[in-house]
Amino acid sequence: MIEYDDSKWRELNLPHDWSIEGEFSDTNSSGAGGGALPTGIGWYRKSFTIDKSEKEKCLFIDFDGIYRNSEVWINGHYLGKRANGYISFRYELTPYLKFGKEKNIIAVRVDNSLQPNSRWYTGSGIYRNVWLVSTSKLHIEQWGVYITTQKIGEEESMIHAKINLTENVNDYNSVRIVTTIIDSAGNQKAQTSQVTKQSSIFQEISIRNPNLWSIEHPYLYQLKTEVFADDIKVDEYYIPFGIRYFKFDVDSGFYLNGKPMEIRGVNLHHDLGALGAAVNTRAIERQLQLMKDMGVNAIRTAHNPPAPEFLDLCDEMGFIVMDEAFDVWKKKKLKYDYHFDWDDNHKRDLQDMVLRDRNHPSVFIWSIGNEIREQFDSTGITIGKELVDIVKQIDTTRPVTCALTETDPAKNYIYQSGALDLLGFNYKIFDWPKFPQNFPGQKMIATENMSVYTTRGHYDMPSDSVRYWPQKYGDSIIGANPDYTVSAYDMVCAYWGATHEQTLKALSQNKFNPGMFIWSGIDFIGEPEPIWWPAKSSYYGVVDLAGFPKDIYYLYQSIWTDKPVLHVFPHWNWKEGQTIDVWAYYNQADEVELFLNGKSLGTKKKENGNYHVMWRVNYEAGELKAISRKDGHVVLEKLIKTARKPAKIEMIGDTKEINPDGTDLCFVTVRITDNEGNLVPDASNLVKFNISGSAFIAGVDNGYQASHEPFKANYRKAFNGLCLVIVQSNGKTGKIKLEATSEGLIPASITLKTK
């Protein structure tokens, strides 16, 4: 293996997902549920040298995640296997390394060939970051500092730090641990020092006038731990942390820092749209910012531990997180899923998740599973107790939940284990009022809700009756569209779910429920319910796969944010005389008046707990205008014009500068407009892209669930007037020019700079 000729192998940068580079096909063994993309087996090799000065050090390789069944060798020595594709892990390289000019070869085999193994798209390969870590012989263990806040007040907070060193403490005459707390401005706030002969140390540090971490003000401190052996610094370890306290109350919900807070959450899978599973910090940040702007304050990591960068961003941006471990336990959902690996891996995998993530202030809840089949038999009792015990041995500061589906306590054995601190329930909103009677004294949270299907920019009439696709399990869909679209009105949902407005009403009527998590925040690759192939990505999202908000996004913005909102839809390009339902989401106003070509169609107010108003309008081309008013005064106006034929391309980047670091991104929205700049709502023009300068095209998309165009390309058809091109730094400085052309349209270009 060491002498293997890899000269013809492809060179690439990590993180890397090889599946996203493939072609969609119904013959791919992952199936539509897995995104209909190729999987298989892949090998990675890297040669590197280690300076002789490192010979007295310990060297490790840290993998943030490999999907899946990874095996690693260094210089021909087998280091081990990790089956779980979402777990971070470490191997020590020290005994097998060569120093100086001799090359070291690390080889990684990734086996994602057994399919199907996931109900959603996973990606394939070393899709998260990899780190080469060099330490002194005496050092802090991986994830070896545990921070808790035991006393929190306006004048003082007491910070506890448990520090685990390697076992060779007694090899030195003196070992001293210095721990310093640093505020967000870089100032030292407190410090303590301790001499020890033990490998496990406990320190207590007081902070005066602490700044609390919250959703609105996610204030972060840093804990710096220095290790001195015989007065020589041998290790230094930085951990961001936040000071906050919270509780769940049986009767009144959730409190953060003593203040009531409704949990306004979404479920998110880990893929990044056209970038696949390959971790990119800017892409994750964009997804989270879309959620933040919608009014979201909580994320459930469905249904696996996330990338470390994801939690770092949640800490920084102000989200609370339900950190979830498993989608299956010992009983399978799919032929080759994690049930195969359960016996040998679940304990270590769960331990590693909690150890890695326990210092994040954003992490509020540990979830040990999603819709686990053991809830229906007595094994749910024993396994449930075991998993909660594993978590509690490492962290006792957060409640443990499991996302359940069985609302009859006599039939739910995971509930009967008595181990859960918090009962999570998916869907079944009409059972919520019975919860206090069925589960007396228990705290709950709605872990997964809605399952509403929508396609951005497509509208079916009439819109004022709920459609279940299908009506029940095993039925065919009645009224499915031949182009595999689903109406963007809040009107089509799964038979197990409910509409957004139905769920929001139920939440408002059950105050003991601290909040909910929408399924889902953003469309994801795979699980294309209810259409399946030829669809290859989901319909559940409030935002589409390309990151373009659907209409329902503005419902949440109108009730979950302080931003003034008046969102009117649909577009205004229809057949003369056609009856069109016009909806409006609005806030900070008493009423909305609608005008068609200057004629008032009446004023509407939200009634009967509804979150929108509607007019039924006979279409005529021209101009649709809505005006929201409060106490007779105009708050906002919204104008929608009938668009003419496509005439030109418009490009809008989300930034004008990118970092020349080889990873930073610019997301460019491409609009097809008429000659007056109005978006053409049914435009499907093929747009071709050309890029020059210090960047490359990392991906393209349009949000259409049944598109089989590749994500890795320099072209894309618009879908309902929009498509997306993602520009990525190539690591060099200089200007970047992106050009877009389409037959018969006026072209467009944008220029970016590197910082």
CA distance linking residue 127 with residue 272, whole number of Å: 11
Q: How far is C-alpha 530 from the chain's CA centre? A: 22
User: Rounded to the nearest 5°, which phi and psi values hold at 487?
Assistant: -60, 140
Pick the catalytic residue from 374, 406, 448, 501. Answer: 448
CA distance linking residue 531 with residue 543, whole number of Å: 18
Place of tokens 């807070």: 261
Beta bridge partners of 628: 592, 636
On whether the CB atoms of residues 633 and 661 are closer than 8 A, the answer is no
On whether the CB atoms of residues 267 and 518 are closer than 8 A, the answer is yes
- Share of the chain residues as helix, strand and coil, in percent rounded to the nearest 5: 15, 40, 45
* Cα dihedral across residues 371, 305, 322, 157: positive or negative: positive
Q: Please, what's the b/e burial string for 344-381 (b: 16 or more CB within 10 A of its CB; e: otherwise)?
A: ebbeebbbbbbbbbbbbbbbbbbbbbbbbbbbeeebbb
Nearest to 326 by CA among 298, 355, 354: 354
CA distance linking residue 449 with residue 507, whole number of Å: 11
Pairing of strands 444-450, 648-653: unpaired
Beta bridge partners of 344: none
Beta bridge partners of 302: none
Instruction: Output the six-digit token pair for 144.
Output: 């070896």
Residues whose CB falls within 8 Å of the CB of residue 517, separated by 6 or more in sequence, listed in order: 263, 265, 266, 267, 298, 299, 300, 322, 446, 447, 448, 449
User: Rounded to the nearest 5°, which phi and psi values hold at 694?
Assistant: -95, 50
Q: How far is C-alpha 635 from the chain's CA centre? A: 34
CA distance linking residue 168 with residue 235, whole number of Å: 14
DSSP 8-state class, residue 4: -
Catalytic, 316? Answer no
CA distance linking residue 694 with residue 687, whole number of Å: 22
CB atoms within 10 A of CB 479: 9
Pairing of strands 320-324, 363-370: parallel
CA distance linking residue 454 with residue 182, whole number of Å: 47
Triad 488, 494, 495: Cα angle to 5°? 140
Edge-to-edge strand list for the sheet holding 253-256: 246-249, 253-256, 259-260
Render 197-209 in DSSP notation, one character per residue: SSSEEEEEEEEES
Pick the catalytic residue from 371, 374, 406, 527. Answer: 371
Q: Peptide bond preceding 462: is omega within 30 degrees of 0, i.e. cis?
A: yes
CA distance linking residue 711 with residue 702, whole number of Å: 10
What CA–CA distances, in Å, run from 390 to 84, 105, 346, 432, 623?
17, 36, 10, 30, 62
Q: Which helix (H) or strand (E) holds 558?
A: helix 552-560
CA distance linking residue 341 with residue 524, whole number of Å: 25
Triad 165, 171, 174: Cα angle to 5°? 80
Q: Which helix (H) or strand (E) holds 513?
A: none
* Three-class SS of 251-305: CCEEEECCEECCEEEEEECCCCHHHCCCCCHHHHHHHHHHHHHHCCCEEEECCCC
Catalytic, 448? Answer yes
Q: Which residues are identified as catalytic?
A: 371, 448
